[in-house]
Each structure stands twice: as C-alpha cells, then as structure tokens.
Amino acid sequence: MRYFHSLAETMSLDEIRTHQDRCLLEVLRWVLAHNDYYRQRFMEAGLTRVDDFGTVEQLQELPTINKEDFRRTYPLGMCCIDKDQIREMHMSSGSTGSPVVIPYNEADLRQWAECMARCYVMAGAAPGNPVQITPSFGLFNGGFGMYHGARAAELFVIPTGSGNTERQVRLARDFETKILCGVVSYAIRILEVMRAMDVSLPNLKIGIFGAESFSEGMRKRIESELGIESFDIYGMTETGGVGTLGMDCPAHAGIHVWEDHYIVEVIDPVTGKQVPDGQQGEIVVTSLTRQALPVIRFRTGDLSKIVSREKCDCGRTHLRIAPIMGRTDDMLIVKGVNFFPKQVEHALLEIPGVLPHYQIVIEEADGVRDVRINVEADESVTGYMVEKHLKERLGFSPKGDVFKPGELPRQEGKAQRVFYTTPNNQ
C-alpha cells in the first residue's frame, strides 16, 4: 500500500486527537485575532477567551456558520489575511445569491495540493501516470484542485478542461490516460462518445469523481463499462476545494476524512445537536490548517454518517463517513413521501435495460405536487415496468416516459437531474 504522507495518514487515534486539540486552539486564536466577523460571532456566543477552549469535545459550544455568512460578507469579509497575501481565489456560481469566495495564500495552496495528492496516491496513481483533468479551469475549484494535487503527486497532467468530448476521447487514447478526473455524469457522456467513435481506452484504470453524489449502481455500471476502479472524492468550495476533505480508498468502505486537516461532526439538521456514530445527519466541518479563510463549524448541508473510526484495511486510521446521501435542501416531498434523487437513481439502475440518463420532473399546480420520472432504456423496458419498480422502492407511483437511447438532453459537465414545472412553463 502506498501513501503520499505515510506518517500523517497512519497516525494513531490518540495522535489524531492530540493534533486536533492543538490545531483547533491555534485556528481559533488565528480567526479571533484576524477577522472582525468571526470575533463578533464568537462574542455573541459568549466565547471571549479561546485559551479556556481546549478540546474538540467543546466544539459544540461554538456557533455554526453556513453559506449565508459568506454571502453576507461578500467578497472577503471572512478573510483572515491581507489582500496582498492572497495568491489565488475560487468561488461558487452564486446562482442562489452572492457567490461564496474562498481566497488562498501560499500555505493554503500547499495544503490543498497535499490533500488532493493523497487522494491520487490512495487511488493507485504513481509518478508519471497520465491524468486527464476534465473539470473546467476557472473560478470553479475542480480543475485547479486536481491540477495542484497532480503536480504534487508528480503525475503527467493532461489539462483538457470541460467539453469537446470527442477530443477528450482522442487525447485519452493517444496519451494513454490512466486516471480520469471529473463528475460522474460526464464519465457516462464519455462512454457514449466512445461507442459512437468505436474507440476503447485500455490504459484507463482509475476514475476519480466528485461534485455530485452517485449511487452504488451508477458506480458499478461505470466501472464495468469503462473497465476502471472508481473513487468518490469529497471537498467543496468552502473547505478549500476538491479533495480537501478526503476520498474512499480501494477497500471502498467509506470516505476517509483527512483528520489532521479537518474536524468532521455529524449533527441533527433540525436541533443542531451531534448525533451518534452510525446515525445519518448533516456534515459540519472545521478546518484546522487553512489560513486565508478557515471555516469554523461550517454546516455543509450534506447528509452522511460516520461509519467507522477504526483502522481501515488500507492502513489509514482517519475516520470514514458514508458516501453523501444528498443534501438537506434537495430532499423531495411528493404525495407525502420523502425521497432523494440518489434513491431514484439507485432504483432505476436496478431495472435491466435502463440507462444512466434520467430526469426527475416536479410538476406543481394549484399547490399540489406530482412527479414525472423520464428514463432512457432499451426496447425491452416499458413504462409499466419502471412505474411498478419505483412504486416498490419509493412508495408511490410516478408518471413518466421511456425514451430511446440518446433522446434526453445531455450536459458536458455536471448533470441536471431535477427539473421543476408549473402551468406557466409546461
């Protein structure tokens, strides 16, 4: 088993806890000394002397933050360094309000590169391996994060960015790409184009996918059809970008969280109280080693659970969380039944002949919601088969249509799965 930083990745549980206690005190001192917004939030919570705050167990005494705090302080109101020390920035799309801006100094860029490099090595990458980076290189963090990590891991970088899928396939063939990075829905698009071009990619062995959750059925289908092993990488704009939080290892027994850099809590989304290991809740993240903008108890909105704190078969000792089930804000409620898009995907891919392209269309009229689920499938699949299976899995019978392969719209990047219609836009 190879490690990028073996001493850090195999720390004992006592060493992890001691390290976290020390770093937590340091980061609290840092934000209180360098940021007025954090200082105000902590004072409102009654915390004025961080030296009285000594252990991870006391985290619950601190207030949480969320995306609204970033939007309220846009663009750099939560930054803890002078502007002339910033070396890079990334941000969210801002589609639901002011964008979330994350600045980086030199130390932050090194931290990001190390976390991402750990992910590459954990997946089996070795120096010189060709890695094709398909996320865009821009304000979105995906492309640059995978690039910084690939450079640290001494890989051969093929920085294609997004789009032009035929060229992606040709480059993967010509340069014998071993590692493909991107969103899982784009891997499906690459498969379709490979078939149309009648091209295979025998050197492709590893897929590292993030930015959207995917079911186990989707993972198995991609692995089978691309001939790869796939890995679920975790990180977000607020934590510093892709890979900062961790990834699953070849044991595929949960996502390893880099606990020397981050503390992860799981809380009840309603009460805000921590829940026991094994119980699903909302992921809350505290960064320990970032300087430009550390997050303290950031409510991610992601739903997961802690599956183990024991040493993994891969030798790593950092805790593992389950793959992200969904988000607190994308749970759908139709006819009194609560469900997540990932559950729909899992159920659909259990039906032989159904393809990995689908739409969940929420129709609302006069305050009443209904759902239509459109799928692509081969000729052996009927609408009745889909409706019956979803009824068994979800507890209600959605409307929907079965389309021929290729008939539903495609995106070159992250797929849109859920659509909303009203009488005015039907």
- Say yes or no: 336 and 323 in one domain: no
Q: Which DSSP category does 402 fall into?
A: E
3-state secondary structure labels for all residues of 102-170: EEECHHHHHHHHHHHHHHHHHCCCCCCCEEEECCCCCCCCHHHHHHHHHHHCCCEEECCCCCCHHHHHH
Characterise 289 by phi-psi region: left (phi > 0), alpha (psi -120 to 50), beta (else). alpha
- Say yes or no: 347 and 213 in one domain: no
What torsion do the CA atoms of 216, 220, 226, 232 make, to the nearest 10 degrees? Answer: 30
The answer as to whether 414 is a domain residue is yes
The CATH number that applies at residue 343 is 3.30.300.30
Domain boundary among 308, 328, 348: 328
* 131 neighbors 99 (Cβ within 8 angstroms): no
Instruction: Look at the chain and report how many structural domains it folds into.
Output: 2
- Say yes or no: 44 and 130 in one domain: yes
What torsion do the CA atoms of 121, 221, 203, 196 make, to the nearest 10 degrees? Answer: -140
Count other Cβ atoms within 10 Å, centred on residue 270: 9
- Say yes or no: 306 and 358 in one domain: no
Measured CA to CA, the distance from residue 73 to residue 44 in angstroms comes to 17
* pLDDT at residue number 95: 55
Directed axis angle between helix 36-44 and helix 13-34, to 10°? 110
The answer as to whether 382 is a domain residue is yes
The answer as to whether 426 is a domain residue is no
Domain boundary among 303, 328, 353: 328
- Say yes or no: 316 and 379 in one domain: no
Structure token digits, residue 255: 């996502």
- Say yes or no: 317 and 390 in one domain: no
- Say yes or no: 240 and 362 in one domain: no
Q: Which residues of the chain have pLDDT under 70?
A: 94-97, 335-336, 366-368, 411-414, 422-426
- Model's pTM, two decimal places? 0.85
pLDDT digits (tens, 9 = 90+) for 111-149: 999 999 999 999 999 999 999 999 999 999 999 999 999
The answer as to whether 371 is a domain residue is yes
- 420 Cβ partners below 8 Å, 6+ apart? 361, 362, 364
Full DSSP string of 210-243: -SS---HHHHHHHHHHHT-EEEEEEEEGGGTEEE
The answer as to whether 120 is a domain residue is yes
Measured CA to CA, the distance from residue 132 to residue 364 in angstroms comes to 42
- Say yes or no: 136 and 168 in one domain: yes
- Say yes or no: 145 and 292 in one domain: yes
Domain boundary among 306, 328, 350: 328
- 57 Cβ partners below 8 Å, 6+ apart? none
Asked if omega into 103 is within 30° of 0 (cis), the reply is no
* pLDDT at residue number 367: 65
Closest CA to 191 of 416, 378, 408, 406: 406
The answer as to whether 157 is a domain residue is yes
The answer as to whether 368 is a domain residue is yes
The answer as to whether 210 is a domain residue is yes
- Say yes or no: 404 and 308 in one domain: no
Q: The domain containing residue 243 runs over which residues?
A: 1-328
Q: What's phi and psi for 257, nearest 5 deg? A: -100, 130
- Say yes or no: 264 and 362 in one domain: no
E strand or H helix that includes residue 41 = helix 36-44
- 340 Cβ partners below 8 Å, 6+ apart? 303, 325, 326, 330, 331, 332
The CATH number that applies at residue 177 is 3.40.50.12780
- Say yes or no: 122 and 198 in one domain: yes
